[in-house]
Amino acid sequence: MKSQKGRIIVRLLPELNLPGWANRVMVHSTRRDRVRTGRRHLVSMRGWIPMTSPRWRRARKIGLVALIAPTLWTLIVLAAPTEWVRRRIVAQLEARSGRRVELDSVSIGLLGGIHLTGLRIGSATDLKDPWLKSGSIRLDFGVMRLLSGEWRPNRIEVDGMDLRVLRRADGKLELADLLRPKGPRIGRDGRPAPEDAQIAMRLHRARIAVVDEPSRTRIEGREIEGIGYTVGRLLVVEQIRGAVNGGELRFSARIDRTASNLVAEARVRAEDVGIDANLGVLRYAVPVLAGATEGTTGRLGADLVVRGQGTTWPMLVKKLRGRGEVALKRVSIDGTPLMTQLSRFVDLGARRRVGTIQTTFGYRDGRISTDRMTLNIGRVPVAMSGWTDLDGRIDYRLRIVGLENQLPDQARRLLGELKVDLGSMTTLTLQGTLDQMVVAVNGKAIDKKKIRDPLRNLPAEDRERLRLLGRQLREGLLR
């Protein structure tokens, strides 16, 4: 009878117009069949999950964790010993770099990660002239990992860094000790240990100054963005790009610091970079620019690739091989030693000369060699071939291309009457050093006095004819 009453009530419930929640009734068969809106031992009729089911208990646990975790992390952020963390990071950096380190402050982000502000790294003895200064650095590990002794992050982001890369006058790199060769890692049991995990790196709005004292070069890049990574003994710069002298400079590199088998390769590309007296390294590839002054201007496009391998860094440098291309547009070389030497041979006048220079070259055994360098300064191109070594010694041949075709008929007839070999006059040599070069004709250095003195002993008619020839040669060469 009781079970029949229960079934009747269940059938009547939809007709009672009760609220929706009241219609969620459960039928439970026991020794006493009854109808309940209870919370235990019930079977769902419309997908309702009993609060004592495993699914409900799991949902409650997830919700509880979701509420507790942010609260706990907020308490850690507020109560974390940031001064202790700051000292620990400084100690780790000094131990690994061998340099003096200063760090202004450390903060822990609400969404995770540690932020460093005001990091400065100097020499091994002081911080008077730090080679690295950063505005903000974000490390993607939390304080709990640092407290446990694990301080290597998986990702580093730097915003607002100032970096100096310096090669001193004695040829030593300021940061050479940071690139020390590394042997395989050995565990406590004497067996090879796994390499360090990869650390991804990203630069934002950085400023990098490259200073090379031996070549008198200073290149400053601004608003630099870059990405790279390090894993074990491998350092990879995937790309660094930034603004230099109104143009863009891009750099990529790969360095393997495996002891006894060092490998390094790099590529540098420049687009529409303005040249000035600070680009001294450029004169090794284009000796025409040696002695460039503030009046030397132009726009540079270049692509250079180098690669080396050796058991030590000095051996690797000796075995470097490379190739490159350089194109200079709207270049002015007035006042350079080459133009000064040429002015002894011919009156160049006061007019400012602007043209182009193009060259392809190779690097091997400490020499930059080319057999295809073309100077288009004026109507007649000048072809150059030769080499420059790292000590600044030079040996080039200059040939004035097609000058005989530019001369008027009268000048050619005059040269024929005087039995002058025009080919010997249009081939010059450029020798000496980048700081003191000598232009020679047929092996004899150009001397303005020696060239002019013999004219005094010639008849007036021949002197006038030679002056006319000189003017026509000059017009054919420089117009």
Average pLDDT value for residue range 55-68: 66
* Token code pair at residue 446: 């150009």
Query: Could you give the CA distance from residue 345 to residue 448 in angstroms, rounded to a whole number?
Result: 6
Q: Where are the alpha helices (DSSP H) in 13-142?
A: 54-79, 82-97
Mean pLDDT of the chain: 76
Pairing of strands 199-212, 155-167: parallel
How confident is residue 395, by pLDDT bands cut at 50, 70 and 90?
very high
Inter-axis angle of helices 409-417 and 460-478, to 10 degrees?
Answer: 130
Residue 89 token pair: 């990071």
Higher model confidence: residue 460 or residue 102? 102
Give residue 71's pLDDT. Answer: 61
Distance CA 172, CA 179 (A): 13
Closest CA to 308 of 253, 376, 269: 253
Q: With 60 as the cut, is the pLDDT of residue 476 above it?
A: no
Residue owning tokens 């950096």: 93
CA distance 139 to 156: 5
The pLDDT tens digits of the residues spanning 168-205 come to 998 888 888 888 888 877 766 767 667 777 899 999 99
Name the DSSP letter for residue 268: E
Instruction: Identify the residue whose tokens are 């040669």.
Output: 473
User: How far, in Å, CA of 275 to CA of 249, rounded?
Assistant: 13
At 230 the pLDDT is: 92
What pTM was estimated for this model as a whole? 0.72
Residue type for position 323: R
pLDDT at res. 220:
94
**Tokens 């005087």 — which residue?**
418
Task: Name which of 344, 352, 363, 465 is nearest 410 in CA terms.
Answer: 465
**β-strand pairing of 354-364 with 321-332:** antiparallel
Instruction: Give the distance, in angstroms, between the CA of residue 20 and the centroid of all CA atoms in the same chain.
Output: 68
Q: How far apart are CA 155 and CA 197, in angstroms?
A: 11
Q: Which residue do the tokens 């020839």 mark? A: 469
Burial of 344 (0-12, 13-18, 19+ CB in 10 A): middle
SS3 413: helix
| Element (DSSP H or E) covering residue 416 | helix 409-417
